[in-house]
């Protein structure tokens, strides 16, 4: 499954990026790709990985903001209260 994204399209969701990354890894592990195509897949994988990492960092920042608004500084404080 390959998701074509151009500058005019919206970026794939985090879940779509992970699905595409998994497909790329599988294709590359098979070793059947010509060198040029393997390089293109690798480049696409790097872009998806960076975008996914950025999405995770943004989500983490939002969680920190929400927790600080509730008077909690860390996730461990939240999990301690639930025990």
At the topology level, CATH places domain 14-81 in Helix Hairpins (1.10.287)
Q: Between vectors from CA 33 to CA 29 and to CA 37, what angle results, nearest 5°?
A: 115
Question: Can you give the pTM of this predicted structure?
Answer: 0.67
The pLDDT assigned to 70 comes to: 81
**pLDDT tens across 54-80, in order?**
999 999 999 988 888 887 666 665 455
pLDDT > 50? residue 33: yes
Residue corresponding to tokens 């390089």: 39
* Triad 26, 13, 60: Cα angle to 5°: 105
| Summary mean pLDDT of the chain | 82
Residue in the block written with tokens 């195509």 = 37
Spatial distance between the Cα atoms of 61 and 70, rounded to a whole number of angstroms: 14
Per domain, the residue ranges of the chain are: 14-81
């Amino acid at each position: 499954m390959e998701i074509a994204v151009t500058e005019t399209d919206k970026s794939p969701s985090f879940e779509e990026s992970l699905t595409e990354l998994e497909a790329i890894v599988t294709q590359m592990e098979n070793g059947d790709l010509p060198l040029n195509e393997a390089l293109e897949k690798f480049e696409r994988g790097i872009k998806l990985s960076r975008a996914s990492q950025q999405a995770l960092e943004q989500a983490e920042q939002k969680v920190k903001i929400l927790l600080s608004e509730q008077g909690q500084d860390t996730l461990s404080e939240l999990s301690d209260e639930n025990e």
